[in-house]
Every structure is written in C-alpha cells, then in structure tokens.
Structure 1
Amino acid sequence: MAGALETLCGQAYGAGQYQRLGTYTHGAIISLILVCFPISILWIYIDKILILLGQDPLISAEACKFLIWLVPTLFPYAILQLIIRYLLSQSLIFPMLWSSIVVLVLHVPICWALVFRLGFGTAGAALAIGTSYTLNVIILGLYMYHSKACEKTRVTFSGDVLTSIKEFMRFAIPSAVMICLTVTALHCYIPYSFGAAASTRVSNELGAGNPQAAKTSILVASALGVVEVIIAITTLMCSRTVLGYAFGNEKELVDYVKDITPLLCFTIFADTIQAILSGVAIGSGWQHVGAYITLGSYYLAGIPMALILCFVAHLNGKGLWSGLIIGSFVQCILLTLAAKSRERIFVGEIADEE
C-alpha cells in the first residue's frame, strides 16, 4: 500500500509542490497505522486459521507465537515504508543506504543475544526484527526533521492531511494487489531497485510536465534491467550442475535443480521486466490498471495454464511453474501496451495544453 506514496510524492515533487509531500506522508502514516490493527488481529488468531486450512497444530502454534511477538513490528514497519517513499521521491538514496547498514550491523548481535544468549528463541527473533525497524525509523526520522535536504518538504501536520487519506487509499489498494502477486524470490530485489528508480524519475518528470524525460528514464531502467538479467541468467546456466548442492547433497535433488534451472531463468527474465514496468505504472499513477492486469494475467492466464500443464499434460511441478511463467509474460506484455497507451495520452494532453 505504501507504493501509493511513490505516485503522490513523486509527482508532487516533480511539479514543485513541495509542501504536499509532507501532507501526503502524514495522511499515509495515519492510513497504514489504522490498517495495522486488523492485520494484528489476524496474526493473533493465525494458529486457528492455519489449523482450519490443514496445517500441523505444532507448526501453527509456533507461527502464532512468532506473529504475536511480531505485532509491535507492524507499526514501525508501516512508517518506515512510507519514509522510504518520501525520501525516494526526492532521490535521497544515501541516507537510506547508511541507515540500513547501521541497522544491519546492530541487528545481527541483537538477534543473536535475544535468540541464543537470553533464550527467547522464536520470540527473540521477532523482537530483534521489531527493534531493527524501530531503529531505522528513528534514524531516518531524525534525518527528515533535521536535514537541510528535506527543508522544503518537511513533514508537517495540517488540515489537508485528513483529506489526503482518501487520495492515498485510491492508489494504495491497487498498489498492494500489484506487489503481493509479484514478489516471489530474493532476486526480485535487484530489478525492484530499477523499478523504484524508474518510478521516482517517471513521477518526477511527469509532475514537471516532461514526458520525453520520463520516456528516457524508462529506457535507461530497461537497459539496466537487460544487462542485469543477462548476467543473472548466464551465471545460473553456467552453475546449474552445482546449484542443487545449495539445497542438499542428494543426487536426485541436484539433477532436478539442474533440469528446472531454465525455468528459473525464464522467471528471472519475466520478473525483471515486470518489476521495471510496475515501477513505471506506479510512477505514472495508474496502479488500478496495473492491478487489473496483474489479476487478469495470473487468474485468467497463468493459473489455468498451470493446472492444464500440471494435471492434463502431466508435467507436474514443472507444469505449475511453466503456467506461472506464462502469466508473468502475459503481464509484461499487457503492462508494456498500457505504458505505450499512457505515453500517447500524456503527450496528447501536453500538446492540447500548448
């Protein structure tokens, strides 16, 4: 849901409406804090839900214990995601980088102490996560309120904050749908960074009325994505015979990982394109279109094809995975078409104004 702030803050910053960044961020903080309460209730009773779904009672109880201790983490996590978008829309990257490094250095010994030294186990891991997120919020919050770089966009409470909540929610819900269905693996964080950069540049340039510069930003992000995906796929294919040993020493497992590595490469390619195009969608402010495309791609194309390939063509796990890859490619194609349509519309609007 925090992705909505990429659109609102990014375009406001590009348009030179600096005070609106503070208004949007404050409204977003209120919105996500309210959302945290029903999520907290869901987590508290998650053991009963998991057992109802057929999960092992012991695993369900342990999951519930972990999530109950994780509930206090929800609130600083929500605020942190919004602060990140607030800074990202202004291209203030390095404060987030250094803050993350500091928190990581502190997180490791804190987590070890709580889990092993003090014997809190799972609860200690949850507490360590919460502590790290809280520290990150404190560090970035201090930077926001004391840095000259944020002087024009300082987060202040005003009467417009409450009215901005409706506008935030209009983008937040489709943003959540887009993200929840696409973040599938650790590798996604690399193209996600390209998508985040594209989102910032596109929203800034569109806010400033520079569609050609926004188009250039998309091309640059796409070029970086192509280079990265070539490196990732080449590395995987060259190491496919030994990749399976990362998961176990059984020959059958190693051989199976070798066989499915091409599928993993297709997934990485599709995820990279999708992450960049999703960033463009968020920066352009058409999350609702992106949400419909994501839902349609997976539920109307990906999942049906996965079922057919798995149970009709008897490809089993490979069939399920192939179906989801098809869904990803359909999503990429539709997002590309939507981006081109959006570009024509925006250029036409600028021409009419001129």
Structure 2
Amino acid sequence: MEESLVKKHEQERVTWGVYSEEMRRVCHIAGPMVAVVSSQYLLQVVSTMIVGHLGELYLSSAALAISLSGVTGFSLLMGMASGLETICGQAYGGQQYQRIGIQTYTAIFSLILVSIPVSLLWINMETILVFIGQDPLISHEAGKFTIWLVPALFAYAILQPLVRYFQIQSLLLPMFASSCVTLIIHVPLCWALVFKTSLSNVGGALAVSISIWSNVIFLVLYMRYSSACAKTRAPISMELFKGMWEFFRFAIPSAVMVCLEWWSYELLVLLSGLLPNPQLETSVLSVCLNTIATLYTIPFGIGAAASTRVSNELGAGNSHAARVAVLAAMSLAVIETSIVSATLFACRNVFGYIFSNEKEVVDYVTAMAPLVCISVILDSIQGVLTGIARGCGWQHLGVYVNLGAFYLCGIPMAALLAFLVRLGGKGLWIGIQSGAFVQCILLSIITGCINWEKQAIKARKRLFDEKISADNILV
C-alpha cells in the first residue's frame, strides 16, 4: 500500500539533462535566498557600523548587544522556524496546500510565545552583564541597546515563518524585493536616528526594529492579497493550535542544531579573552568570525534551496528527484566555495583593512587567512548538508552531530591547542575547525547512507496519516 504511494525512480540513471534541469531549479531558489539572508543579516551590521562612529564605548556596547541578542534570541527563533522547512516543504510536495498556511500561523503564534521570556531576559540584560563582571558603562549602554531591540525580536518571530512560507513555494521575488528595499531604506534611516535625533546609539537598535517590522508588513500584505498565495492561504482559526505539537517536534531539534553551532563560535571569542594578549586576539578572532559569518549567507542560501527541493520531492513521493536535488546542491556548493575561498586567499594581504587600520591586527589576519579559507570550505559543505537534513526531517540527528563535533571535539581541542600547546588564537581557530571537519564528515556519512525511497515513503505516510487525523477532527 505504502509502496504504491511512491514513484519508482530510485533505479533511474541521473542523466545530464535531468541533472542540468535540477541545477537550474536549485540556482533559481539559491540566488534570491542568498540575497534575502544577506540583506537581513546586514541590518544589524549596518547599525553596528553607524553606531561605532559615535565612539569606542558605543561601538563595543552595540557589538556586545548584537552578539548577545543573536545568541539568546535571533538564533533561537531562526532555528525553530527552520522546522517549517520539513513540515510545509513536504506538505507542498504532497499538495496539501491549506496545511501550509495553517502551520505558518502555528509557527508565528508559537514563536511569539517563545519571544516573551526572551524579551524579559533582554530587558534585564544590563543587570546580567554587571553580575557576570562586565564593565558597568558598557553593560549600561548594551542593556539600553538590547531593550530597544525587543520590538525587533517579536517582528523576527513573525518574519522567519513568513520567509519559510514563501521559500518552500519558491515564491522568491516578493522576499527578494522586500529584503533589498528594506536594507536600502535602513541605511539612511539608521543614520538619521543616530545622528539627527536625541536617541544617539539606541537609534541603531530602533532602526533595526523598524526595518524588520517593515519587511514583515510587506510580506503579510503580499500573503494576504496576492493571487500567488491563493492556494496556500488559510483563514486564521482555532485549528492553528492543533498543529503546535507537530511544529515543536521539528522546531526544537532544529533550534538546538542551530544554537549548538552558533554558541560554540561565541564561546571561542570568550576563550580568546583569556589569552596573553586578549585585545589583539579578540580583535583578530572577531574579524575572522565576521568574515565567515558574512560569507556563510551564500551556503545558507544554497542549503535553503536544497531543503526546499528535497522536502518538496519527498512530499510528492519522488525519491529519485530528491536524490538528484542533493547532487545538484552539493555540486553548486563545491563551485561556490572554490570561487569564494580562492578569492579570499588572493586578497589575504588586504581584507584585514576592511575591519582595522592597525598593522598588527592586519598582519595577524593575513597569517590567519589560510585557516579562514578552510573554514569557508567547511561551512559551504555543512551549510548544504544541514539544509538537506531539514528537508528530510532528521534534525534530531543534526543535534547529536553538532553536540559531538563541537563540544566533544572542537572546543576541547581549541582549548588544548591555545593554552597547553600555546598556539594562541591560531590554536583556538584550528580547534574549532577540527570540530567543523568532524561535523562535515558525520553529516556526509548520514547523507550518503540515506535510503531515498524509504524517506519518500515515510514523508508520504506522515502526510497521509495527519490528513486522516485532521479530517476526523473536522468530522
């Protein structure tokens, strides 16, 4: 019975025509998604840069506030929203269109609930920072900045499910236009609020909040009134509460998978502060982390495309097409990382000047450049593999992989090389990248062992069972 639900493509050969067509589809999704992710990421970068021109105190406090808000809030919401890539992506492939709208509302409601305790944490951020021994002046300014970011938190709780709603349907133009326009407007808005009002540094946080809310409003209006969303648009009803268990079942491991990796790199910065020359080491590691974080938006976009294509095809029962989508996405990742890492290595003597004019810092960054290039390669591979994991719905395996790779291997290795072998910042970076290497190996093994036919049967069975359950509830 279940076998008949799946189209028997597993034994078909991957011809050049099929491969090139799938590559075109992946590129069609990945390109706009890279722009969307980059635009959203740059909102906070622009605010930090503009606030930094007010002075060193405001720069350090804004950077601290942005970092803490990312660790405690934005990463959590982004990770949880990624659960929709499994639920809605497979539902779209299975032509259960109304479920997509309902699950999007469920995700928005759930993330708003999660944002309430997070916002309380943000409101008390100054007290927390002082308690853990941070400078009182920096803590005060960082606390103020974080409070003004609270509206952005709730906007983000709505934005991320909306992004997944459009992503899994390959409705990319509205997201692309909205994100790019928002970023363009954000630059003069942030400058005006910081320098032309009495808000000063907190104007940067308010600008982020306004910009994210503007993006949300545009996407909500498009979702509500565009004919392109007609088949997936659903009325808001009490039915959104019925899908909360299914959402959290995928959202929690998705969030843990994202946060475990994100937190490991933040821990790296904290460890750098314990080295003999903490100011230099922290500055250089911050430059390296900002570099790979910015460049990671490219493989993240490709990973989003892989997740969309894999989940759509599994939901439709096309196991062979899902396998071809994986092949195309991985090929695109290899091409992308070859170009980016080679370009970064060629510019190793100058790219440090983007962040600092201090020759000591620039020289150190130049010495770290080969290691950063290796990080770019590993990030590109794991970014796509993680997207495939979301499309298949095995985020729980990603949790175990990240936990073992970074916290049993990467962080201990980083501490050992930095403090016992005395390699300093290089040791920290080599250690964390050993964790990233283990992560890539484990994810590659898991992906290589996937039985795509069974994955398609599993996806179709879950969709079929849930449809019967929903019909019984309605009856």
| TM-score w.r.t. length of structure 2 | 0.71
Identify which of 202, 226, 230 aligns with 1:151: 230
* 2:342 equivalent to 1:202: no
Change beyond 3 A, Cα 1:260–1:122: same
Cα drift, residue 348 of structure 1: 8.9
Change beyond 3 A, Cα 1:85–1:166: same
1:53-64, aligned counterparts within 5 Å? 53-64=132-143
Cα drift, residue 349 of structure 1: 4.7
Identify which of 142, 159, 162 aligns with 1:80: 159
* 2:130 equivalent to 1:51: yes
Identify which of 175, 178, 186 aligns with 1:107: 186
Match for residue 66 of structure 1? 145
Match for residue 2 of structure 1? 81
Cα drift, residue 343 of structure 1: 3.0
Identify which of 395, 419, 434 aligns with 1:287: 395
Matched letter for residue 247 of structure 1 = F
* 2:119 equivalent to 1:11: no
Cα drift, residue 319 of structure 1: 0.8
1:232-243, aligned counterparts within 5 Å? 232-243=340-351
Conserved? CA contact 2:303–2:383, under 8 Å: yes
Match for residue 297 of structure 1? 405
Match for residue 102 of structure 2? 23
Cα drift, residue 345 of structure 1: 6.6
Deviation readout 1:230-287 (Å, 9 max, x if unpaired): 1111111111122232233343322211111111011111111111011111111111
Matched letter for residue 173 of structure 1 = I
Identity of aligned pairs, percent?
54
Count how many residue pairs are aligned between Structure 1 and Structure 2.
Answer: 351
Identify which of 362, 376, 397 aligns with 1:254: 362
Deviation readout 1:283-311 (Å, 9 max, x if unpaired): 11111111111111101111111122112
Conserved? CA contact 1:13–1:204, under 8 Å: yes
Conserved? CA contact 1:27–1:165, under 8 Å: yes
Q: Partner of 1:314: helix, strand, or coil?
A: coil
Work out the CA distance in 2 between the residues paired with 1:348 and 1:157.
Answer: 30
* 2:203 equivalent to 1:124: yes
Identify which of 213, 216, 221 aligns with 1:134: 213
1:172-187, aligned counterparts within 5 Å? 172-182=251-261, 185-187=293-295
Work out the CA distance in 2 between the residues paired with 1:306 and 1:65.
Answer: 34
Matched letter for residue 399 of structure 2 = A
Change beyond 3 A, Cα 1:105–1:239: closer
* 2:276 equivalent to 1:168: no
1:213-224, aligned counterparts within 5 Å? 213-224=321-332
Conserved? CA contact 1:9–1:20, under 8 Å: yes
Work out the CA distance in 2 between the residues paired with 1:257 and 1:348.
Answer: 46
Work out the CA distance in 1 between the residues paired with 2:457 and 2:152.
Answer: 44
Q: What are the ranges of 5 or more consecutive residues in structure 2 without an aligned counterpart?
A: 1-79, 263-288, 462-475
Matched letter for residue 36 of structure 1 = S
Cα drift, residue 49 of structure 1: 1.2
Work out the CA distance in 2 between the residues paired with 1:25 and 1:349.
Answer: 24
Conserved? CA contact 2:352–2:365, under 8 Å: yes
Q: Which moved more, 1:119-128 or 1:208-217?
A: 119-128
Conserved? CA contact 2:110–2:244, under 8 Å: yes
Conserved? CA contact 1:25–1:155, under 8 Å: no
Work out the CA distance in 2 between the residues paired with 1:243 and 1:112.
Answer: 25
Work out the CA distance in 2 between the residues paired with 1:347 and 1:117.
Answer: 56
RMSD (Å), alpha carbons: 1.7
Matched letter for residue 59 of structure 1 = I
Identify which of 326, 329, 350 aligns with 2:434: 326
Change beyond 3 A, Cα 1:32–1:196: same
* 2:403 equivalent to 1:315: no
Work out the CA distance in 1 between the residues paired with 2:383 and 2:430.
Answer: 19
Matched letter for residue 186 of structure 1 = T
Matched letter for residue 139 of structure 1 = F
Change beyond 3 A, Cα 1:128–1:33: same
Matched letter for residue 318 of structure 1 = K
Identify which of 204, 211, 216 aligns with 2:319: 211
Cα drift, residue 144 of structure 1: 0.5
Work out the CA distance in 2 between the residues paired with 1:101 and 1:205.
Answer: 29
Work out the CA distance in 1 between the residues paired with 2:236 and 2:450.
Answer: 34
Q: Partner of 1:195: helix, strand, or coil?
A: helix
Matched letter for residue 317 of structure 2 = G
Cα drift, residue 182 of structure 1: 3.7
Work out the CA distance in 2 between the residues paired with 1:70 and 1:268.
Answer: 30
| TM-score w.r.t. length of structure 1 | 0.95
Match for residue 192 of structure 1? 300
Match for residue 31 of structure 2? none
1:219-230, aligned counterparts within 5 Å? 219-230=327-338
| Structure with higher RCO (Cα < 8 A, 6+ apart) | 2
Q: Partner of 2:254: helix, strand, or coil?
A: helix
Conserved? CA contact 1:26–1:156, under 8 Å: no
Work out the CA distance in 2 between the residues paired with 1:310 and 1:31.
Answer: 41
Matched letter for residue 230 of structure 2 = E
